[in-house]
Amino acid sequence: KRIILQHISYCHSDECDDLERRQLREENIIQIVIEYLQQNTVLELKMSHVAKLANCSMGVIYSHFPSKEDLILACAYRQIKKDFACIEKALNQHSEPLDQMIMASILIWSVFKQQPSEYALKQFAINPHVWNAASISRVKSVTELVNTFSAKLSFISNQLFSDYKLGGQGVEAEQFNLGLFGLTLGLYQQSVSAFGDILGFNSSYDQQSNHHFKSLLVRYLSSWGLERQDMSERVESLSQLTFKNR
Q: What pLDDT digit, counting tens, does each position of 28-49 carry?
A: 999 999 999 999 999 999 999 9
E strand residue ranges, 158-203: none
61-94 as b/e, with b when 16 or more CB fall inside 10 Å? bbebbeebbbbbbbbbbbbbeebbebbeebbeeb
Work out the pLDDT band at 207, boundaries 50, 70, 90.
confident
| pLDDT tens profile 228-244 | 888 999 999 998 887 66
| Of residues 2 and 25, more confidently modeled | 25
Q: What is the pTM of this model?
A: 0.84
Nearest to 152 by CA among 217, 91, 86, 239: 91
Mean pLDDT value across residues 60-74: 96
Q: Give the model's pLDDT for residue 17.
A: 64
Mean pLDDT value across residues 197-221: 77
Q: Give the model's pLDDT for residue 243.
A: 64
Q: Give the model's pLDDT for residue 216.
A: 94
